[in-house]
Structure 1
């Protein structure tokens, strides 16, 4: 089973539903695999847990 991971900021539930469906459909079409065999995992990261360029995202938003 292929597993696709979204690793990014939190998304609203409806956006996750849409993304899961579209990602699954795209991978299924490209690989000819049955959609029921494709796994999509959402790993959401709070801005205080991610740094870019040595600065936490939560701090970058304040600047």
Structure 2
């Protein structure tokens, strides 16, 4: 069972559904594995919980 993990910003339900569908279809085609075998895990991360270059993302764009 292939597992695809996605770490990113908050998304609405429609965005998540589109992401899961697109990733599953692409990976299935490339790997020649049925779509039913794939599991997609989405981890949403708030910008205040991510630091890049010593600065929180929430503060970087101010």
TM range (shorter): over 0.9
Structure 2: distance between partners of 1:37 and 1:52: 35
1:10-49 → structure 2 map (5 Å cutoff): 10-49=10-49
Q: Give the structure-2-normalised TM-score.
A: 0.93
Q: Shift of residue 61 of structure 1?
A: 2.8
The Cα offsets for residues 2-58 of structure 1, whole Å up to 9 and x where unpaired, read as 111110111111011001001000010011111011011100100110001110011
Gaps of 5+ in 2: none
Cα RMSD of the aligned pairs, angstroms, is 0.8
* Count of residues in correspondence between the two structures: 62
> Could you say what secondary structure the match of 1:7 adopts?
strand
Gaps of 5+ in 1: none
